Every structure is written in C-alpha cells, then in structure tokens.
A and B are shown apart, each in its own frame.
Chain A
C-alpha cells in the first residue's frame, strides 16, 4: 500500500526557534492535512490544504503556523516561534478526494520536543 512519509521522525528544538516539519503525501492525492497529538491527549485537527490553499483550519492553527507545498511533492508545516506547548506528535495525512469520509492515509508522525 502507498505510504505518506514524514521527516524527521524526531525533532528537538529550543523555545522560540522555527521548525519545519516535512511530509511527502501519496503522489496522486490532492488533499493534505496536519493533525497533532499532545502526549496523553487526543489527536487534533490543525489544517487542511487543497489547490495550494488552506481549506480549513482549527483554532490551534494561529499565525505562528503556516503550511506550504513548495515543489509539488513536499507538504510542510512551519512553526515560526515554537512554544513549550507545541511539543507533540505531528501527523501528516493525504487523500484523493475531500473529506473525512474518504480514506485518509497518515504518515508515521514527527515527534516535536520544544525545550
């Protein structure tokens, strides 16, 4: 089965630093998503992206966050100035068609630790 790949698997950063989390969605997919899971909490939706635009975003996705599809294959999540509370597992996902009723393919996650 095709896979979504995420790099790095672990990222450690200092508070206030910028981080970029990278994802390579499945090649014929058109919809892309970021979710995160803070330790001990539920998986939360951050943002969805289609046709080079954000489709939806949650309240978590504030001005410190941005997403980009710079080259037609990568899909990145940038956090401009990390905070301690940004420490979480970040999951990228993609789908061929829109929405949660479609099969979402998830990557294995990037564990972000902000010190």
Chain B
C-alpha cells in the first residue's frame, strides 16, 4: 500500500519570497513521485516527476523538488514566488507498475501569493 501526505492545506507567501510545499509519502516499493498544479478553471498540469534518476528534479516555472528517501519526503520548492504561482498543488505517488490505478493523490496545498 502507498500513501501521500501533504502537510499543509494552505500556504501563504509574499511575492518574491521562497516557496516550500511539503509532501511525505509511504510506499512498499521504490515509488515514482509527481507534483501537479491546478490553476483556477484549468486542468491538472504536471510540474515535475521523479522516477529514480537524479534525486533533485527540476520542473517547469522554476519549481524543483528533492527526493529524500531517508526522510520519505518530496518537498516542492521555488526560490522566488510569483503572483501567477497561486494555485492548488498536488503531490502524487505511483508504484513501479505504472498503473494509473496506483496513482495516489495528496489532499492538495492551496498556495496564496501576496503582493
């Protein structure tokens, strides 16, 4: 069985300050991990994914995430928030089978960016 926990349901940052969205997972396997973003009235968009290559993964729009097996974490970061980053972010874990059924979503973190 696998699970994913997003530790903050809401995060609020000022524009230009760093963003940290936290995600912890549990899995019996070596998982694949993803971050998706959903802007208002838009579909879920893949930001980045980890699939057992480099532990530091760079994604779109300046986001990156680091896979830390010892901490079972996959936190999402960005050095400097932009107003357009305001959205809901989902951490997702998948088992190695790659089955779509085995995609487990976190409960989401709503990011607010203050001017």
Contact = CB atoms under 8 A, between A and B. Distances in A.
A4 interface: yes
Interface string B18-53: 000000000000001000100001111110010100
Contacts, number: 67
B43 A106 contact: yes
Given A42-B105, A100-B94, A108 B100 contact: no
A102 B36 contact: no
A76 B92 CA distance: 25
B43 A109 contact: yes
B107 to A, nearest CB: 5
B100 A43 contact: no
5 contacts: A3-B43, A43-B105, A100-B32, A106-B45, A108-B42
